Amino acid sequence: MSKDSVRIKVSASVANVSCGFDCLGYSLEEPADILTITKREKPGIEITISGTGADSISTLAGRNTAGKGILSLLTAVDQQLGFTVHIEKGIFPGSGLGSSAASAVGGVVGVNLLLGSPLKPSELLIHCMAGEAAASGDFHADNVAPALLGSIILIRSYDPLDIVSLPIPENLFSTVVLPELSINTKKARALVPRHVPIKTAVEQAGNLAGFTSAMYTGDFELLGRSMIDLLAEPYRQELIPGYHSVHQASLDNGAIGCGISGSGPALFAFSDSLETAMKIGLAMEKAFKHEGFVSEVYSSKIRVEPPEILD
């Protein structure tokens, strides 16, 4: 017998990951959104939202990333069912941590489950992307893919959509620091130049290939040397007060590399132990504090599991 209701926890994610602008992202353990989805008699999708930044998110199904993702899925599987969706936001919108992506994934995965899983996880990706487009206005997979599938995901191509799940070295740890300041994602995108010198394109490709190699070999020296973004980060730094001191604080405390998570304001860093990851978090938090911003810190391994079904 299929269930009538499901609770699902979907984690935040870090997109871009320095050299992987628009084509790389990884999943975190925390923070996360929790979605409660229930079948109902009446068609249509009724959305309620609580938690961090809930006020800023539309509850109209067509303008909400969970709602729009669900509508995309229902169209694909030709279902007219109705659902109530409650989103308990744990990921602050505009944080650079894939807040809208997490809700989109939760909606799509939850409804697919309630329908008896007509689609495989990889087949849900396109609907999660359609959902997230409600917030970003564009189709991206670098947050939804890791949130949906776990791990660190390379989007090799968008047309056709082609993703590669990279292996994660055993002792790789992530630190994310989220300061209490908001970035407008569209503004952050507008700062990025539309064209780049071909030399820059070659360097960016070299760095992403070096990063990819390091994921297979665990060569953290190469990983660190490869964690340079030439396409977006040089232009987006200015939106994050204290970027340079926070970045430097991470490296001074043992980070392999550090960069802006998505379009910010969160920053992420990689390190080789949980102890170092936590030490880096404290140092980055302190550096933001020095600029007048309180931060949240999240240190963990990269999450390899898909979203957790709570009940």
Query: Rule CB under 8 A: is residue 152 a binding residue for a second copy?
Result: no
Strands across the sheet containing 173-179: 257-260, 267-271, 173-179, 295-301
In the shown chain, the binding pattern of residues 250 to 289 toward a second copy, with x for contact by CB under 8 A and - for none, equals ----------------------------------------
Say how many CA atoms lie within 13 Å of 137 toward its Cβ.
6
CB atoms within 10 A of CB 124: 26
156 binds a second copy (CB under 8 A): yes
Among 108, 208, 239, 255, binds a second copy (CB under 8 A): 208
Size of the site for a second copy (CB under 8 A): 40
Whether the bond into 193 is cis, omega within 30 of 0: no
The yes or no reply on residue 154 touching a second copy (CB under 8 A) is yes
Tokens of 27: 């999943």
Q: Is 231 in the site for a second copy (CB under 8 A)?
A: yes
Question: Angle 121-136/99-114 helices, nearest 10 degrees?
Answer: 140
Distance CA 90, CA 82 (A): 25
Stretch that binds a second copy, among 66-74, 79-87, 201-209, 296-304 (CB under 8 A): 201-209
Q: Which of 185, 212, 233, 296 is catalytic?
A: 185
Q: Taking CB under 8 A as the rule, does residue 77 contact a second copy?
A: no
- For the CB of residue 229, give the shortest distance to a second copy in the complex, in Å: 11
Residue 293 lies near a second copy (rule: CB under 8 A)? no
| Known active-site residue 185 | yes
Beta pairing, strands 152-158 & 161-166: antiparallel
- Respond yes or no: is residue 132 known to be catalytic: yes
Question: Could you tell me which residues are beta bridge partners of residue 26?
Answer: 14, 152
Q: How far apart are CA 6 and CA 36, in angstroms?
A: 6
**Minimum distance of a second copy from residue 204's CB (angstroms):** 5
> What's phi and psi for 175, nearest 5 deg?
-120, 135
Say which of 132, 233, 285, 296 is annotated catalytic.
132
Part of the chain binding a second copy (CB under 8 A), chosen from 64-72, 126-134, 225-233, 299-307: 225-233
CB of 44 or CB of 193, closer to a second copy: 193
Site for a second copy in 21-60 (CB under 8 A): 21-24
What SS3 class is residue 38? Answer: strand
Question: Whose Cβ is closer to a second copy: residue 87's or residue 163's?
Answer: 163
What is the closest distance, in whole angstroms, from the C-beta atom of residue 163 to a second copy in the complex?
A: 10
The token pair at 121 is 């996880």
Region label for 262, one of left (φ > 0), alpha (ψ between -120 and 50) or beta (otherwise): left
Binding site for a second copy (CB under 8 A): 19-24, 154-158, 162, 164, 166, 192-198, 200-213, 216, 222, 225-226, 231
Active-site residue list:
132, 185
